[in-house]
Amino acid sequence: MAEMKSMMVENRVFNPSPEFVAKARVNSLEQYKEMYKRSVENPNEFWAQMAEENLTWFKKWETVEEYSFTDDIYIRYFAGGKLNVSYNCLDRHLDGPRKNKAAIIWQGEPLEDSKTYTYQQLHNEVCKFANVLKSQGVKRGDRVGIYLPMIPELVIAMLACTRIGAIHCIVFGGFSAEAIRDRMLDAKAEILITNNFGYRSGKFLGSKDVADAAMAQCPDIKKCIVVKRVDKECNMVEGRDVYWDDLMATASNKCEPEAMDSEDPLFILYTSGSTGKPKGAMHTTAGYHLYAMMTVKYFFDIRDEDVYFCTADIGWVTGHSYCVYGPLGLGATSLIFEGVPNYPAPDRFWQIVEKYGVNILYTAPTAIRAMMKDGDQWPKGRDLSSLRLLASVGEPINPEAWMWYYTVIGKEKCPIVDTWWQTETGGHLIAPMPGAHPMKPGSAVNPFFGVVPVLLTAEGKEAGVNEGGHLCMKKPWPGIMRGVYGDPNRFKETYFVQQPGHYFSGDGARKDEDGYYWLLGRVDDVINVSGHRMGTAEVESALVAHATVAEAAVVGFPHDIKGEGIYAYVTLKEGVEGTDELKKELVAHVRKEIGPIASPDKIQFTPGMPKTRSGKIMRRILRKIAAGAVDELGDTSTLADSTVVDNLVANRQ
Ligand code: ATP
Ligand code: MG
């Protein structure tokens, strides 16, 4: 494992706007620091207070935090406590003013399809579906597979599982039959919930056919519940498949919530597969739920009257924590969207912001860069004045994209909350406290309460100021995964062996003189040019800062003299031609921004990047192509569009 060096200098600093600070929960650096200090010096007291104030318990816990990051790895929060997640997301909001408040606002892909569920209505549907699950033989501890698009039934199914103590295992609605099969077999699921047909980017999808192909190879799946997203018959297998509506028609809306132990599993979810075969992260009940809620409360500073729009698909952890469990636990209004940012037009997000008066928007750099590429006329044509806070997740946000988000979308009055975290971490670990931290474009800033990051060199020593290191955590936080489902060894080997006694994230970062964290990219993607080790993020950000560049990905390739050379894949903005002149200009630009050591040796223009279904660039594939090893691309099952790869191979430099 390599260390990495940081070379970019980004000096811009932006203070949160006075309007924002005036109302913020945490409104000064002193307050953040005081709370942070308390959370790490006395975690038992801090988390006990948070758990007391924010969750409703059937039985109080006996201990707060217990763990070992060495030898036998274990992590426990609130052991001995009993609670129910659906109760915390629904029931307890019903005896006050939130009863008739929108819990979920659903916007379908077709413009005219939308629906709102109040807390009372959602509670009703969840109780009914919980009874349906029971009627189909699902018991506490059973795994329930869910393969659904972004429709309200997805949220209902999740919460119904939590109500009866079943463990959901959601597979992103755009995945293939093979991806569903692998996850269902791994989770040992005996039931799958899916839909007949769906919409995506204006296309009509046969979701049930995909699910059928998967189930043909999953002999343990005995039942399949089918949501009619569209009023149209699909293939139904006698004895196995039943329509959602038929079961719901006779189900009772009374269902007592199961009293779950704090450490009972809540769900299994697979990572994006950017760096290899996806890992099945297992999250448990109390710590995860509390952590998801606390990060929404503080990092997004959410209010009861807010309309909060997280654009992530619930098939990813961002959707689990930040469309469902975080906001609903707090009694907030969560807007969920079935479609994509550019259909029917490139202003779809902005049309939604305008239609519902969205106050908080949470999206990803991949979407931000794509919308920048489409041009400012799209957001400028919509009323975005309701926006109060903007957030980002998934990849490092390049300073250029950050500036666009801040100025064109946020009109310089919304804080940008860049949230660094992982499927494994359950919730945000590093982000700015929006009413407290001055922001620096491209920096994820500081840890959340109770989180203790450290940057370590390959030898396990603490890295100095601005020196790159492996981003690790010294101790757990309530939302950390408790294991890889059914595989304790993989858990230990993946996260706790490289840097003994620490949770190792796999990412590289540096900490600047103000203690701000800057993510440098994956440690596995480090490029070593003549003994200088570079993360990918900064070289990419330098390229994206050029006026013609929409997106960039850099990787190393074998080089006779330098050991490794830099190979840059570049997607240009609309209407820009990829000439040899422009290549020279881009090389000169990177030399100027960073220095000669970072100049790309090769540049390949490409209309698209190989991305995971969750929108992250898969550099491991780009590295293979750059090295000419096109037959060794590895696990490509989570790739969004395989034709991109053929095109890249054909145009290799
Ligand atoms: P796999 O673990 O299967 O390779 P993955 O790491 O892409 O896939 P996720 O858990 O979805 O799966 O993504 C977490 C990773 O995304 C982080 O480790 C980090 O590399 C990247 N990431 C997420 N948010 C940010 C952010 N705000 N800044 C920089 N990187 C981020
Ligand atoms: Mg990962």
Calculate the average pLDDT of the chain: 96
**Closest ligand 1 atom, residue 270 Cα:** 3
Q: Are 452 and 475 in contact (CB under 8 A)?
A: yes
pLDDT digits (tens, 9 = 90+) for 318-358: 999 999 999 999 999 999 999 999 999 999 999 999 999 99
Pocket test for ligand 1, best of 274, 440, 540 (most atoms within 8 A of CB): 274
Residue 283: the pLDDT is 98
C-beta 442 within 6 A of ligand 1? no
Q: What are phi and psi of 215, to 5 degrees?
A: -65, -25
C-beta 6 within 6 A of ligand 1? no
pLDDT digits (tens, 9 = 90+) for 84-142: 999 999 999 999 999 999 999 999 999 999 999 999 999 999 999 999 999 999 999 99
Is 60 exceeded by the pLDDT of residue 1? no
Integer Cα distance of 9 and 29 in angstroms: 24
Q: Are 466 and 57 in contact (CB under 8 A)?
A: no
C-beta 133 within 6 A of ligand 1? no
Task: Give the residue among 208, 195, 314, 228 at the shortest CA–CA distance from 613.
Answer: 314
pLDDT digits (tens, 9 = 90+) for 149-189: 999 999 999 999 999 999 999 999 999 999 999 999 999 99
**Closest ligand 1 atom, residue 506 Cα:** 18
3-state secondary structure of 15: coil
C-beta 614 within 6 A of ligand 1? yes
* Ranges of H-type helices in 419-523: 488-495
C-beta 284 within 6 A of ligand 1? no
Q: Which ligand is nearest to the CA of 523?
A: 1
Return the number of other C-beta atoms located less than 10 Å from residue 651's C-beta.
Answer: 13
C-beta 538 within 6 A of ligand 1? no
CA 285 to ligand 2 centroid distance, Å: 22
CA 274 to ligand 2 centroid distance, Å: 7
Pull the structure tokens for residue 196: 């007949």
Task: Give the residue among 387, 346, 383 at the shortest CA–CA distance from 367.
Answer: 346
Residue 4: the pLDDT is 66
**Mean pLDDT, residues 390-411:** 97
Task: Give the residue among 507, 549, 538 at the shortest CA–CA distance from 524.
Answer: 507
Pull the structure tokens for residue 502: 């620490």
Residue 292: the pLDDT is 99
C-beta 16 within 6 A of ligand 1? no
The percentage of the chain sitting over the pLDDT mark of 70, rounded to a whole number, equals 99
CA nearest ligand 1 atom 30, residue:
395
Q: Which ligand is nearest to the CA of 419?
A: 1
Q: Are 504 and 470 in contact (CB under 8 A)?
A: yes
Is 70 exceeded by the pLDDT of residue 235? yes
Integer Cα distance of 312 and 439 in angstroms: 24
CA 423 to ligand 1 centroid distance, Å: 8
Question: pLDDT band at 277, cuts 50/70/90?
Answer: confident
Is 60 exceeded by the pLDDT of residue 370? yes
pLDDT digits (tens, 9 = 90+) for 135-149: 999 999 999 999 999
Pull the structure tokens for residue 335: 């807007």
Reduced 3-state DSSP string for 158-196: HHHHHHHCCEEEECCCCCCHHHHHHHHHHHCCCEEEEEC
Integer Cα distance of 490 and 488 in angstroms: 6
Annotated binding-site positions:
318, 342, 394-396, 418-423, 507, 522, 530, 533, 544, 546, 549, 591
Q: What are phi and psi of 142, to 5 degrees?
A: -70, 150
pLDDT digits (tens, 9 = 90+) for 496-534: 999 999 999 999 999 999 999 999 999 999 999 988 888
**Closest ligand 1 atom, residue 279 Cα:** 3
**Closest ligand 1 atom, residue 276 Cα:** 4
Residue 76: the pLDDT is 98
End-to-end CA distance of the chain, in Å?
28
**Closest ligand 1 atom, residue 275 Cα:** 4
pLDDT digits (tens, 9 = 90+) for 423-481: 999 999 999 999 999 999 999 999 999 999 999 999 999 999 999 999 999 999 999 99
Is 70 exceeded by the pLDDT of residue 6? no
CA 129 to ligand 1 centroid distance, Å: 33
**Closest ligand 1 atom, residue 638 Cα:** 3
Residue 507: the pLDDT is 97
C-beta 419 within 6 A of ligand 1? yes
CA nearest ligand 1 atom 16, residue:
394
Strand ranges in 87-142 using DSSP code E only, listed in sequence order: 102-107, 114-118
Return the number of other C-beta atoms located less than 10 Å from residue 30's C-beta.
Answer: 10
Q: Which ligand is nearest to the CA of 299?
A: 1
CA nearest ligand 1 atom 26, residue:
420
Q: What are phi and psi of 297, to 5 degrees?
A: -65, -45
CA 394 to ligand 1 centroid distance, Å: 5
pLDDT digits (tens, 9 = 90+) for 10-57: 889 999 999 999 999 999 999 999 999 999 999 999 999 999 999 999
CA nearest ligand 1 atom 14, residue:
422
Q: Are 538 and 519 in contact (CB under 8 A)?
A: no
Residue 2: the pLDDT is 47
pLDDT digits (tens, 9 = 90+) for 620-647: 999 999 999 988 888 888 888 889 999 9
Pull the structure tokens for residue 54: 């924010």
Pull the structure tokens for residue 357: 């008066």
Integer Cα distance of 610 and 196 in angstroms: 29
Question: pLDDT band at 486, cuts 50/70/90?
Answer: confident
**Mean pLDDT, residues 231-251:** 97
C-beta 418 within 6 A of ligand 1? yes
Residue 3: the pLDDT is 57
ipTM: 0.99
Reduced 3-state DSSP string for 618-643: CHHHHHHHHCCCCCCCCCCCCECCCH
**Closest ligand 1 atom, residue 392 Cα:** 27
Q: Are 383 and 412 in contact (CB under 8 A)?
A: no
